[in-house]
Amino acid sequence: MPASILIVDDEKHTREGLRSALEDTYEIFLAADADEAFVQMDNHEFDVVLTDLKMAGKSGLKVIDRAIALSRKPVVIMMTAYGSVETAVEAMRRGAYDFMTKPVNLEKLEILIERAIESRKIVQENRTLHERLDKSFSFDSIIGHSKGLVDVIERVKLVAPSRASILIYGETGTGKELIAQSIHQNSARARGPFIAIHCAALPANLLESELFGYERGAFTGANERRIGRFEAADGGTLFLDEIGEIDPSTQVKLLRFLETRSFERLGSVKPISVDVRLVVATNKNLEEQVEEGNFREDLLFRLNVVTINLPPLRERTDDLPILLDFYLKRYAKENNLPAPTINADAMGVLLRYSWPGNIRELRNFCENAVVIFHGNTITEYDLDAKFLRTEGKQPRSSKIARHPLDVEQNERRLLRNALAQAHGNRSQAAKELGISRRTLHRKLNLWPELDIAPASSRRTTMQERTHPDTGKIQPPVPTSPGSTGSISL
């Protein structure tokens, strides 16, 4: 669809001449004065408004004012036979894109219109992007209603409008960058840049140059000047993840910035001032790092103006069903596949699991489930062994191995110990392990050698022994006639 242009001029031959020159490329509308232009702008959305300055009745400056007040602003180009610096300045001040004198050079006008339309597209794309960001990082988009998460959101709402530096504590995968982006997007800096850098991902010698930039010749390989992340974030927010990993020399420069709001590029002594809000995050205890001499105490004081503690997923069990449902549907939509469901037994297992990788691990689980199950129901039999092995807590009957074991060996040992303590009672053993009786039966079908009958039903006078690591049955050992038949581990 061609771009639309509204031509506003009280001289008919000028209007018609411009229409003839432009109508092969654009959709053209005409207005003989400002009032007619107002009606046209109320009824149509235009990409460009090309208006004369001096007209009978209201001037072209009024046309600029009305165009700029529209929700979907067109680009305005002013034309006048009375060209002067003062007129041009006033038109630009009112919001005009550019200024041309009459008689109009059609070749130059066409080039100017092309640039104006491209400029409007960029503005619209930026607006759309910001609208999506506003939606993505609004508080309503943060999933969950557990008390710990609600407390975090309320705190973010309080601190987002301020200029204060913020320190976010949280385990890996808890969503620290998401909270930092929400702080930025709900602040007065939302239209400014949000720059993130993972401090642990860069060596110490590269991190300093990434943050503060460098001059040409500052070090071997510095063939040109480069601005750092602080300069790139001017007017916005700089998020430093894993702040506890930065080396002492970078800590000194960071402290200086917080005190003076200025810094020097590597290889320069000229201070550069920027308006940047600092949000930092860590999964380490910085107070302990201070005591160990790994982190400057004065820097911690400067960073720790406002603290936000993100709860791990194991403390947000109320949110787990909501999160699982959300991500299953999200990845199903992305992969054009039906979303699987989770039955009650499987959900119980997932609720008891500790999720050491937090949200990141949960997302991976959901994406894998969408691809593997294609809309079917996920049962506890379908879950990976890591969920069934611990289900978020160590069963009371288990004994932690003092040497490395593979997954199967650990699982066999837990089952064997539970059955031994329950004297072969499967229901009691399943309860002790925190799994369903069906799950226990499934495991015993895989490893029948682990099963033992309850003491009351034993008819053998031989005592079974199993190897403490492999779980394989060893040769029977004779027992006295009065033996109970209990197994020795």
Q: Calculate what percentage of the chain has a pLDDT beyond 70.
A: 83
pTM over cut 0.85? no
> Looking at residues 268-278, what average pLDDT do you find?
91
Q: How confident is the model at residue 143 (pLDDT cuts 50, 70, 90)?
A: confident
| Helix intervals (H) in 335-471 | 344-352, 358-373, 385-390, 407-421, 426-433, 437-446
Cα dihedral sign for 392, 398, 399, 404?
A: negative
Provide the pLDDT confidence category of residue 293 given band limits of 50, 70 and 90: very high
Q: What is the pLDDT of residue 335?
A: 93
- Give CA–CA dist 360/383, Å, rounded: 18
User: Average pLDDT, stretch 289-314?
Assistant: 93
Q: Where do we find the tokens 């969503």?
A: 175
Report pLDDT for 433.
82
Alpha-carbon span 324 to 70, nearest angstrom: 43
Residue 80's DSSP bridge partners are: 101
Confidence check: pLDDT of 82 > 70: no
What would the mean pLDDT of 290-318 be, rounded to a whole number? Answer: 93
Is a pLDDT exceeding 60 seen at residue 475? no
For the segment 147-170, the average pLDDT, to the nearest whole number, is: 91
Query: Which range among 69-78, 140-149, 390-399 shows the weakest confidence by mean pLDDT?
Result: 390-399
To the nearest whole number, what is the mean pLDDT of the chain?
81
Query: Of residues 460 and 198, which shows the higher confidence score?
Result: 198
The confidence band for 409, taking pLDDT boundaries of 50, 70 and 90, is: low
Please give the DSSP secondary-structure letter assigned to residue 354: -
State the pLDDT confidence band at 217, using cuts at 50, 70 and 90. Answer: confident
Asked whether 313 and 362 are in contact (CB, 8 A), the reply is yes
Per-residue pLDDT at 127: 59
356 Cβ contact list (under 8 Å, min separation 6): none
User: How many Å separate Cα 144 from the centre of its chain?
Assistant: 15
In 102-180, at which residue ranges do the beta strands (DSSP E only) sit? 166-169
Quick check: 345 pLDDT over 60? yes
Backbone phi, then psi, for 263, in 5-degree steps?
A: -160, 175
pLDDT of residue 462: 35
- Identify whether the C-beta of residue 310 lies closer than 8 Å to the C-beta of residue 170: yes
Find the mean pLDDT for residues 104-115: 88
Nearest to 139 by CA among 156, 158, 127: 156
CB of 243 within 8 A of CB of 282? yes
pLDDT at residue 129, rounded to an integer? 58
Q: Report pLDDT for 487.
A: 28
pLDDT at 423: 79
pLDDT at 359 over 60: yes
Mean pLDDT for 5-32 is 91
Q: Band of the pLDDT at 374, cuts 50, 70, 90?
A: confident
C-alpha distances in Å from residue 412, one per residue of 383, 437, 450 = 17, 16, 8
Cβ atoms of 112 and 100 within 8 Å: the answer is yes
Give residue 125's pLDDT.
Answer: 63
DSSP secondary structure string for all residues of 32-100: SSHHHHHHHHHH---SEEEEESS-SSS-HHHHHHHHHHSSSPPEEEEEESS--HHHHHHHHHHT-SEEE
How does DSSP classify residue 447?
A: -
Given this model, what pLDDT does residue 314 score?
92
pLDDT (0 to 100) of residue 343: 92
- pLDDT for 289: 93
**Range in 120-134, 322-336, 393-407 the model is least confident about:** 393-407
Per-residue model confidence as pLDDT tens digits over 411-420: 777 787 788 7
Whether 213 and 227 have beta carbons less than 8 Å apart is answered as yes
Average pLDDT on 255-261 reads 93
What does the pLDDT look like over 411-466, one tens digit per residue?
A: 777 787 788 778 788 888 888 888 888 888 888 888 777 777 654 444 433 334 44
pLDDT score, position 481 = 40
Mean of pLDDT values over 93-110: 85
Rounded-to-integer distance, Cα 386 and Cα 242, Å: 28
N- to C-terminal Cα distance for the chain?
Answer: 80
